[in-house]
Structure 1
């Protein structure tokens, strides 16, 4: 029963994340205009992910010291407080600070919950959780952008930004109640080296290279040498933090983790800016741009439901990622027509649906790694990729949205190549 509660909690949390994502992405053009921050898009979109990643090195220590209940209380307070700061911000830096605080609060529970899932859920149930989590994006994709715009029209973007709070809190309570009383993995023992920021054994300073480098990219303000140094620091931190062989695309889980990182950079970066691309470059209304925003995750969720009925080894992560790369390239250089963008981004979601379940399973399956290491590795890979995609894409978009989307397409194509080496060795 506790395993079922854990699975339901993880799925509910994914639904909460979907609601929050659609609200933030839908409101981005309005927030940027109201705060006079069209040239600081990276600052607006990367704050939450920066906070999440900064919190990950501290998650194990905090959970061991406070326990699940008190960690939930502290995380809840900081999450709500951060969103209130963002919703009342008058400058871009204050908005980013609020999102950073809310992201850090969410990061406190991320590693604990997912490592518990890897320890306690067998491979078949984990795959079902991944599929159900993907499906949780279907309803928000269908109604989230329109509902957000309706609420924004009625009450303003600041109240609309706070709308996801109840569903996010409900998801977090479910996860914590499922694992209440269980010590974090590794608490009170030492059964191997610490391979990531949330393992809980010791704090690895190298983990902070990633958010520090991403922050340098975001705050560079067009000073490209600073942005380049920040990007190099973030990449160096990523290579040092992920398991050995990831950068070399060693066959099996390391290659899958590399593909997950590149996927995060390409897809999350592209998805976070799609409403700005459509309103600025395509000249369409925000309502139409929001329809394109919802097309990819809707297609992703529906495709995943079909794909996960097949045996994991029959899935096609590389082909799926290649399709998403092609769709992103169409957004970058294709005809500036609403219908083209809608079809292309929907096909991009189909590609993710084909790729993600099998890729996630391959990245979290191993015979020698501990559950916490696997949890940390997959969270790190996807989160780092998304963080770099948002930070770098936001910086590029301030100069050229076409260049930003061209870069996202290249990242996704590289992910497809890495995924060809992701099947486990026989």
Structure 2
């Protein structure tokens, strides 16, 4: 006779690769890995693409086009997911991302390349928000730290091999094949993902009734924020050649952005209100600080230290080791998430400042590799903690809106720091990359310090 099960057996959290979640987990991680490989490769090949298309200013604008287009897609995907479910925006996002990759590979001018990056941004924006909504609706709360850790881990292999492989491909067969090579990989990913989408919807979503659940005002606000950010960065990029018109354009873009952005975020977010508002804002603070430097490290290593594309890519790769380590550590216990985010902001700031050691006489450019591992550790600890806290603080009918808000502020923070970093390179570092890079470090380190100061406001006193 089988012994009866004891009622006081220890509770074990569900495994994300157990029978309950296996299909959804594999589907999510496959697509994230695909997007991550492109994201990690692009930084290493951008110097070659910029030289081939004869446009140094392509460097900042190509990253910003991706991120700004994603900003609009974030909001649309959040609304869609809250009202109709996450399957269709997920598939639409993957399709757009693939089309953008093909267009980037075929780009014959800088304008076409920037447009292709915008299409990729639309696709990535749809897909990533749908992933966050899927996690909130499919996974139990005690399983979410593990799936967010797995999401971070899905960046590890692309981060380890993406920059180096991307640089090698660019040097051997050409940078265009970095984009072309990803396109056929979408087919097996989608074949494995379709069952997860059909079986992962769970209960039908209940449309929200708050101000961020209204399609027309939110769409207009998203369009305004995206256009405002684009105009702001375009105007800033012209400051070094057309100071007057560039200044007017920059001010106009800032005004339009300021009009649309507050509607896309939780109330009091721009004032770092306690609880959810600050939690969402910390995503943009961490991303803006980290990626504002990450985008320019390959350029500095090549221009100042004579690295080839492959070596510059390898230097970025080391940061992924820190990121994966931080992600693993944050999933081990149910820590005080606000303290983890503060630690993350401090580590990112320290890593940013440590990269300047490369310019000390007698030092080598390779010092940027361990410095970026420190910054990656901060991102691995901080980013999943922000996501987990956001889901905890979100009512069921606002999961899509708050997932979109996370991506909006992440996109905006990264696009602004990368865009203004490109401005600094053109304005004060066109003939002296080291000076421009030092200015970028000062800008992004200030953002990191802000994160250290306000992270404690993530705690919801209610």
Normalised-by-shorter TM-score class: 0.7 to 0.9
Residue of structure 2 equivalent to 1:325: 349
1:212 corresponds to 2:227:
yes
- Over aligned residue pairs, what C-alpha RMSD do you find? 3.1
TM-score (norm 2): 0.81
| SS in structure 1 of the partner of residue 354 of structure 2 | helix
1:102 pairs with 2:120: yes
CA-to-partner distance for each residue in 1:177-203, whole Å, 9 max, x for gaps? 42337779986x64421427xx86864
> 1:36: Cα distance to partner?
1.0
**Are 2:184 and 1:151 aligned?**
no
State the Cα distance separating 1:112 from its structure 2 match: 2.9
Compute the displacement of 1:301 (Å).
Answer: 0.8
CA distance in 1, matches of 2:261, 2:32: 24
Aligned partner (choices 316, 331, 337) of residue 293 of structure 1 = 316
User: Which residue matches 1:192?
Assistant: 209
Deviations 1:127-159 (A, max 9, x none): 111111111222222222222222223321111
Measured at CA, do residues 107 and 185 of structure 1 come closer, stay the same or move farther in structure 2, by a change above 3 Å?
A: farther
Task: Tell me the secondary structure at the aligned position of residue 38 of structure 1.
Answer: coil
Alignment of 1:65-144 (within 5 A): 75=93, 77-144=95-162
Flag the 1:367–1:14 CA change in 2: closer, same or farther, 3 A: closer
Deviation at 1:360, TM superposition (A): 2.1
Shift of residue 330, structure 1, vs aligned partner:
3.1
- Partner residue in 2 for 1:391: 419
1:221-262: CA deviation from partner (whole Å, max 9, x where unpaired): 423412344245435533332101222222222211111111
Q: Which residue of 2 aligns with 1:265?
A: 288
Which of the numbers 332, 341, 350 marks the counterpart of 2:377? 350
The aligned residue for residue 449 of structure 2 is: 413
* Residue correspondences, number: 423
In structure 2, distance between residues paired with 1:213 and 1:283: 38
Larger Rg: 2
Deviations 1:100-151 (A, max 9, x none): 1122133333333321221221222111111111112222222222222222
Cα gap change, 1:389/1:171 in structure 2, threshold over 3 Å: closer, same or farther?
A: farther
In structure 1, the residue matched to 2:8 is: none
2:376 and 2:200 map into 1 onto residues whose CA distance is 37
Q: For 2:224 and 2:105, how far apart are their aligned partners in 1?
A: 29
Determine if contact 1:195/1:241 at 8 Å carries over to the other structure.
Answer: yes
Aligned-partner Cα distance in 1 for 2:215–2:191? 22
Q: Structure 2: state its 5+ residue gaps.
A: 1-18, 240-245, 428-435
TM-score under structure 1 length normalisation: 0.88
Gaps of 5+ in 1: none
* 94-103 vs 412-421, greater mean Cα deviation: 412-421
